[in-house]
Amino acid sequence: MISIIIATYNRAAYIAETLTSIANQTYKDFECIIVDDGSTDETESIVSSIEKNDSRFKYIKRPSSVPKGANHSRNYGYSLSKGSYVKFFDSDDVMLPHHLEVSMKYLLDGNYDFVVGDCINFNETGLLERPYEIDRTVAELTAMRFTNFKTGWITNDLLVKSEFADQIEFAGSIRDQASEYQYNIKLLLLTQNGYLTNEILSHRRIHDDGFVVKAEKDKKFLDLKNAELYYVTFNYLKSIAPRELLEYLLDNHVQISFELSTRRVWPENISGATSLLIKNKGVKGLLYPMAILIGYLTSKGYQVLKFIRK
C-alpha cells in the first residue's frame, strides 16, 4: 500500500480538486492522510465530506502537542501511516490519473528504493514550465548534485520505500520554502538506487498565495528564505554529510547573508553562522560579524568575506 501524506492550511479553494485527483488514481491501493495545520476556512468541511464517502481518506487535525508548520504536519502524518511506500503531496496540486501506477511500475520493475516523476506548473491560463528544467536522461542521482540544484524535484514527485522514509524527517524549523530540500539530500546520502522518469505525473499550481509568486515579487523575501534554507540544511545534515557538501551550504548562506547586508537588510542567524565558520574555517570565522556590519553600513566588505570563505 502507498501512504499519501498531505499537510494543509486554508486550502478550501483547491483541496477538493487535489483529493478528487487522488481518488481517481488508476492504482487503488493507497491511504491518504490529510493533516490540517489549523485551517480557519472551509477546508475541514470539504475534506470531511470526501472522507465520509471514501474510507481511504483520513482527515486529522494537528494536535496541540505537534508544533505548527507544514513540515511538522508532514512528519506527524507519516507517523500515522501504514504503507510500505510513501508519497508526500501538496494540498493545492493535481495528480494525473496514472501517477501512482506509473511510479509503482518503475519502482517494482527496476527494484529501486525510490522513483521520481516529473511535473509541470500551471495557473488559471493553462500549463507553464517545469519546476526543474533538467535533462533527466543524464541527471546524476547524488546528494551533491541535488544540493547544488544540478538535479532536482519537488515534494510531489517522489515515491519512496518506507524503510528509507523511516530514517528521514522534514526539517520542522524552516519556513515554507523548498521543504523537500533537506529531505531529499538525506535520502540521497542513504541510497542512490533511484530512477528519474521524464513522464509528467502531476500538475503544480501557481497562485498568489504560493511561495513561487511571492518570491518573484519580493527579492528580499527570496534571499532571506534562501539564506535560511542553506543554514538550516547545514545543521540538519552536519552529522552525516561530506565536507564538500557542508562547505557549499555554509558558503552560500554567508554569501547571501552578506549581500542582504549590503542592501541594508540585517541578516538572520549571524551568531550561529559565526560558530559554524569558526568550526569549519578556523579563527578567521570571527571576522564574519564584522563583514556583515561593514556591508550594512558601507555596502562594502567583500574582501573580508572573501578572506573568510577562502
Segments of the chain assigned to CATH 3.90.550.10: 2-212
The grid coordinates of residue 36 equal 490540517
DSSP letter assigned to residue 280: H
Nearest-CA neighbor of 131 among 112, 153, 158?
153
Using DSSP's 3-state secondary structure scheme, residue 267 falls into coil
Return the pLDDT at 133: 87
Kindly tell me the burial class for residue 215, based on how many C-beta atoms sit within 10 Å of its own C-beta (0-12, 13-18, 19 or more).
Answer: middle
pLDDT tens by residue, 18-69: 999 999 999 999 999 999 999 999 999 999 999 999 999 999 999 999 999 9
**What percentage of the chain has pLDDT greater than the value 70?**
95
Q: Is the pTM of this model over 0.75?
A: yes
- Decide if pLDDT at 177 tops 90: no
Return the pLDDT at 88: 98
Rounded to the nearest 5°, which phi and psi values hold at 197?
-105, 145
Return the pLDDT at 134: 86
The Cα–Cα gap between 91 and 8 comes to 6
pLDDT tens by residue, 58-68: 999 999 999 99
The b-or-e profile of 76-113 (16+ CB within 10 A means b, else e) is bbbeebebebbbbbbbbbbbbeebbebbbebbeeeebb
Average pLDDT over residues 281-288: 93
Query: Which CATH topology does 2-212 take?
Result: Spore Coat Polysaccharide Biosynthesis Protein SpsA; Chain A (3.90.550)
Contact 230/157 with Cβ under 8 angstroms? no
The grid coordinates of residue 211 equal 511561495
Average pLDDT over residues 166-172: 93
- Decide if pLDDT at 135 tops 90: no
> Which of the residue ranges 90-94, 124-128, 129-133, 302-306 has the most confident prediction, judged by mean pLDDT?
90-94
Return the pLDDT at 17: 97
Return the pLDDT at 138: 86
For the beta carbon of residue 55, count every other beta carbon within 10 angstroms.
Answer: 8
- How long a stretch of residues is the chain? 310
The Cα–Cα gap between 140 and 192 comes to 9
pLDDT band at 219 (very low <50, low <70, confident <90, very high): confident
Average pLDDT value over all residues in the chain = 93
Return the pLDDT at 6: 98
Nearest-CA neighbor of 57 among 83, 31, 77?
31
